[in-house]
Chain A
Amino acid sequence: MAEIVLDGVSKRYPDGTTAVHDINLTIADREFVILVGPSGCGKSTTLNMIAGLEEISSGELRIDGERVNERAPRDRDIAMVFQSYALYPHMTVRENMAFPLTLAKLPKPEVAAKVGHAAQLLDLTALLDRKPANLSGGQRQRVAMGRAIVRDPKAFLMDEPLSNLDAKLRVQMRTSIARLQKRLGTTTVYVTHDQTEAMTLGDRIVIMYSGVVQQVGPPEELYDRPANLFVAGFIGSPSMNLLPAQVRDDGLHTIIGVIPHRSRGLPPEVVAGIRPEAFQDTRIRGGASFTDTVDILESMGAEKIAYFTFETGETGESGGTAFGDGAQVVARLDPKSRAREGEPATLWYDPAAVHIFDPDSGVNLTA
């Protein structure tokens, strides 16, 4: 169990590129923190720096108050689960799990007991004498977990541990990992590119983009109060509708009409963000609405996803910006919705639920 502190940690490569820029993060003891972001955002580099697999260019990394920048991975007492599982193919499941313990020169009976206990916890007892080649993907994943937990390390680092599993197993393993972490109470840093995984697993989420931390907070906070356009677009599925808007006296002019909003203090052009689930096809008292033809309707069972396509150029110059396809609006509707594909529908939303972003800096002006 340990507290991990990243104090102004950066990673620069000799060729001058900066992979991670000035991360300040305190991971509390027993906390489950997720590093999430698109590929190349620096999340794995950050994890590798915590592990000691990559050198820290500047800043300080402290585990339990001690500076560990210069310590080799094996002296940091941290276990890691790799995306490829990195099981040793020439060893059985038992030998794989016992490997860190035998290296630590623990007495044999103790090794056997610890491996046995971990195997039981992960339902691997029947597989102990198999080689990794004879295991399924999910079983391999569990062995990798087992190898990490036998040591009872200060912290777990997980680098996309579920991304090689099929969708169903991924969901299943996701809950297993959450349960296991709660049970063991070990500080865990988990890297993923999947925002659903991030939202469901973490106590706190660190969103990264091109080497810079965008926002840190519990899942609800990131969802309710995204700090900027990137976070707004990244968290939530389907992602937030980001509509270029011109600020006039009567409100924000967008492709879905005028969003009532006080315009004081806003720049002349903004981006209005509305979550798909903010729309509904029943009237909201005091709400705003738009009417358009449903382009495509996906019935998901528990919900219906409606897509509307608007002619670009309706709002003039800012249609279709880099912040997303300005011409399309997605709404997540109740399964009982009467919306039909190819027929017009009127959707209502609460103007208070609209996020307003500065188009240049991306900063959320309403948060």
Chain B
Amino acid sequence: MTAERDLGERRLALWLCAPATLIMIAVTGWPILYSFLLSLRRADLRFPADQEWIGLANYATVLGNPYWWTAFGVTALVTVVSVAIELVLGMLVALVTFRTIVGRGVVRTVVLVPYGIVTVAAAYGWKYAWTPGTGWLAGLLPAGSAPLTEQAPAIAIIILAEVWKTTPFMALLLMTGLALVPEELLRAASMDGANRWQRFTKIVLPLMKPAILVALLFRTLDAFRIFDNIYVLTNGAQHTSSVSIIAYHNLIGGLNLGIGSTMSVLILISVAVIAFVFIRVFGAAAPG
């Protein structure tokens, strides 16, 4: 009787899940599979007649190409530097806003403003600011300098734009972690003789570790796929491309579906590796 009902309920559960599952397969599973299949083909839309299965030849082409590796290096650099700065700044912002007593709501809202601005709009703001002659930031530099036309300054500006944009998100995630540290533990620690810094390093940080790892994981995955800031600021000129930018240029600009798809698959693999490292090595709780 109950077994029968259990079976019925289970069947109903499957039916209820089915539409969502089908949609997920249609909108994510199939595109991933399709781009993987494309990556195994010579598929250049400029030569539509010349299409065939070429195995892993596209992978050899991409991985043997210095442009890919430069982009990979730039992406890794932007990711590591911006996430590191965001972590420190985000933690400071989180600590300050968490301790704010007067106007806490206003402070939190103000802090979140950069995150609420559309990335492309913010990126144009930064672009104009650094444009010689008109920009308010470029005006601060020595005459004749055009920071967005050189690799190192351009990457620095890309990192600045990233940090400005996403520090609030980091702060928000860290704030939820701070809220998990019981006030009484901090009181106990100060009774035990810990000063402010010791309370932070020995009590707050260890207890926040899960929140910190989740925040780092989110931001690292996001930062690795950086696209809009670079697209607006330099469009990848002067060796400032990220992997997403060159994938886009090959796929959309160059109409080379095979190479572009190969790059997309490589990005997917990189992201999966990052997630795996975070979850397995650092023991971050799986997000969501």
Interface residues, chain A, with chain B CB atoms under 8 Å away: 51-53, 72-74, 78-80, 82, 84, 86, 88-90, 99-100, 103-104, 147, 151
Q: How large is the interface on B (under 10, 10 to 19, 20 to 34, 35 or more residues)?
A: 10 to 19
CA distance A244 to B154 in the complex (A): 87
Q: Is the interface of B mostly helix, strand, loop or mixed?
A: helix
Asked if B184 and A82 sit within 8 Å, CB to CB, the answer is yes
Q: 27 A-B contacts, Cβ less than 8 Å apart?
A: A51-B191, A52-B190, A53-B187, A53-B190, A53-B191, A73-B190, A74-B190, A74-B191, A74-B192, A74-B194, A78-B191, A79-B191, A79-B192, A80-B191, A82-B187, A84-B184, A86-B182, A86-B184, A86-B185, A88-B189, A89-B207, A99-B194, A100-B193, A103-B193, A103-B198, A147-B188, A147-B192
The 8 Å CB contact of B192, one of A89, A90, A100, is: A100
The 8 Å CB contact of B187, one of A86, A103, A104, A151, is: A86
- Which of A73, A78, A104 lies at the interface centre, i.e. has the most chain B CB atoms within 10 A of its CB? A73
Query: Inside 8 A of B189's CB, which chain A residues have their CB?
Result: 88, 99
CA distance A89 to B181 in the complex (A): 10
Query: Inside 8 A of B193's CB, which chain A residues have their CB?
Result: 74, 100, 103-104, 151
CA distance A151 to B192 in the complex (A): 9
Distance to closest chain B CB from A2 (angstroms): 15
Asked if B207 and A86 sit within 8 Å, CB to CB, the answer is no
Interface residues of B in 243-269 (CB under 8 A from A): none
Q: Which residue of A lies closest to B187 (CB)?
A: A53
CA distance A48 to B203 in the complex (A): 20
Given A82-B184, A84-B182, A88-B185, are A73 and B207 also a contact pair (CB < 8 Å)?
Answer: no
B195 interfacial by beta-carbon distance below 8 Å: yes
CA distance A147 to B188 in the complex (A): 10
Interface residues of B in 181-233 (CB under 8 A from A): 182, 184-185, 187-195, 198, 202-203, 206-207
Asked if A74 and B195 sit within 8 Å, CB to CB, the answer is yes
Given A88-B203, A89-B207, are A73 and B191 also a contact pair (CB < 8 Å)?
Answer: yes
Query: Inside 8 A of B207's CB, which chain A residues have their CB?
Result: 89-90
CA distance A8 to B113 in the complex (A): 49
CA distance A104 to B194 in the complex (A): 9
Query: Inside 8 A of B206's CB, which chain A residues have their CB?
Result: 90
Q: Which residue of A lies closest to B205 (CB)?
A: A90
CA distance A88 to B206 in the complex (A): 10
Closest 5 CB pairs of A and B: A86-B188, A100-B192, A74-B193, A103-B193, A90-B206
Asked if A80 and B188 sit within 8 Å, CB to CB, the answer is yes
Asked if A72 and B192 sit within 8 Å, CB to CB, the answer is no
Distance to closest chain A CB from B207 (angstroms): 6
The 8 Å CB contact of B190, one of A72, A84, A90, A147, is: A72
CA distance A84 to B202 in the complex (A): 19
CA distance A175 to B273 in the complex (A): 58
CA distance A73 to B195 in the complex (A): 9
Interface residues of B in 151-186 (CB under 8 A from A): 182, 184-185
Distance to closest chain B CB from A127 (angstroms): 19
Query: Inside 8 A of A53's CB, which chain B residues have their CB?
Result: 187, 190-191
Distance to closest chain B CB from A243 (angstroms): 43
Q: Which residue of A lies closest to B198 (CB)?
A: A103
Distance to closest chain A CB from B17 (angstroms): 34
Q: Which residue of B lies closest to A100 (CB)?
A: B192
Q: Which residue of B lies closest to A86 (CB)?
A: B188
- Which of B191, B203, B206 lies at the interface centre, i.e. has the most chain A CB atoms within 10 A of its CB? B191
CA distance A84 to B206 in the complex (A): 19
Known: A51-B191, A53-B191, A151-B192. 7 other contacts (CB 8 A): A74-B192, A79-B192, A80-B187, A80-B191, A100-B192, A103-B193, A103-B198
- Which of B187, B188, B190 lies at the interface centre, i.e. has the most chain A CB atoms within 10 A of its CB? B188
Query: Inside 8 A of B190's CB, which chain A residues have their CB?
Result: 52-53, 72-74
CA distance A53 to B188 in the complex (A): 10
Query: Inside 8 A of A84's CB, which chain B residues have their CB?
Result: 182, 184
CA distance A145 to B87 in the complex (A): 37
Query: Inside 8 A of A86's CB, which chain B residues have their CB?
Result: 182, 184-185, 187-188
Distance to closest chain A CB from B187 (angstroms): 5
Query: Inside 8 A of A100's CB, which chain B residues have their CB?
Result: 192-193
Query: Inside 8 A of B202's CB, which chain A residues have their CB?
Result: 99
Distance to closest chain A CB from B64 (angstroms): 47
CA distance A52 to B188 in the complex (A): 11
CA distance A147 to B202 in the complex (A): 16
Q: Which residue of A lies closest to B101 (CB)?
A: A14
Q: Which residue of B lies closest to A48 (CB)?
A: B187
CA distance A86 to B187 in the complex (A): 8
CA distance A272 to B198 in the complex (A): 57
Distance to closest chain B CB from A318 (angstroms): 45
CA distance A82 to B191 in the complex (A): 11
- Which of B193, B198, B202 lies at the interface centre, i.e. has the most chain A CB atoms within 10 A of its CB? B193
Query: Inside 8 A of A99's CB, which chain B residues have their CB?
Result: 189, 192, 194, 202
Query: Inside 8 A of A73's CB, which chain B residues have their CB?
Result: 187, 190-191
Distance to closest chain A CB from B282 (angstroms): 15
Query: Inside 8 A of A51's CB, which chain B residues have their CB?
Result: 191
Query: Inside 8 A of B182's CB, which chain A residues have their CB?
Result: 84, 86
Distance to closest chain B CB from A86 (angstroms): 4
Q: Which residue of A lies closest to B206 (CB)?
A: A90
Q: Which residue of A lies closest to B192 (CB)?
A: A100
Distance to closest chain B CB from A14 (angstroms): 10
Q: Which residue of B lies closest to A90 (CB)?
A: B206
CA distance A98 to B195 in the complex (A): 16
Distance to closest chain B CB from A155 (angstroms): 11
Q: Which residue of B lies closest to A72 (CB)?
A: B190
Distance to closest chain A CB from B186 (angstroms): 9
CA distance A352 to B193 in the complex (A): 54
Query: Inside 8 A of B195's CB, which chain A residues have their CB?
Result: 72, 74
- Which of B184, B195, B206 lies at the interface centre, i.e. has the most chain A CB atoms within 10 A of its CB? B184
